Structure 1
Amino acid sequence: KSKEELALKIFAQCLIEFADFLKAEAGKGESPEEKLGKTIEAFFRFAKEKPLAYEYVILGHEREFKKLPEPIFLPKDVFVDIIQEGIRKGVFKKRDENLAAAMVIGMAIRVQFFIKNKISKVPEKKGIEEIIKSALQILKK
């Protein structure tokens, strides 16, 4: 196999591992709001516990995403599923689930980066709370 094929295979494995990690945590919540909070917390935990896999996903997703050979369950799909459930249950506004997921994930990625690199002096726990609060403001009716 070429280096490119091997890199793509590792990228796909990291994506699946990240998605499975988030999905397992989301499953511990009862309501869509709780599931969202648990998933955001898990996002940070995965970044800390599996830093190489996390960084590979974050750095590679723009370049490698379109090269994936078949559809796989992605980390964003965990957020999309929760948002769809919230819309179905009438607790979240009706909107494009992928766009809403992108907004939440974007916040998580940047806040995690700013805290990790000490650009922000906010403790991680406070950063996570702020993301959850902001995400719910974006999503709730």
Structure 2
Amino acid sequence: MDKLDTITNYVKSQDLASKAKMTSSHQVTYEMFTNESKSLAQIAKERDITEGTALGHLYKASQEGFKIDWLEFVTLDEIDTIEKAIKTVRKRIPKDETFRMKFVYEFLDEKMSYVKLRAAVAYRKENE
């Protein structure tokens, strides 16, 4: 057995690949949010990231199967409003233009935060 095989076997035996995943940036954010009950603002401040980045981490964690209660960020009424706005905006943008959440934000007269917009989309993806 050569050195590479020895290392590969060791990594597999210690399950180091999954342990490395567990300490990824989005996992740290998820643990702070769920285990420590910290808000996005607190997480952002402590980790020196934006709230949008922290929310992105939670979204990524949810895509990996971790449960997020998106209703902590947005109400069902707000989700309905956001969904209607998304549908309207999608119909209005030219076919050659890429859809951006900024269009929805502006359509809603900047009254819904990007956190609410992203949480609404995440909520619907999980509850389709």
Counting helix residues as a fraction of each chain, which structure ranks higher? 1
Structure ranking higher on relative contact order (CA contacts 8 Å, 6+ apart): 1
Which structure would you say has the larger Rg? 2
Tell me if both proteins adopt one fold, taking TM over 0.5 as the criterion: no
What TM-score bracket applies, with the shorter chain setting the length? 0.3 to 0.5
Give the TM-score taking structure 2 as reference length.
Answer: 0.34
What TM-score does the superposition give when structure 1 sets the normalisation length? 0.32
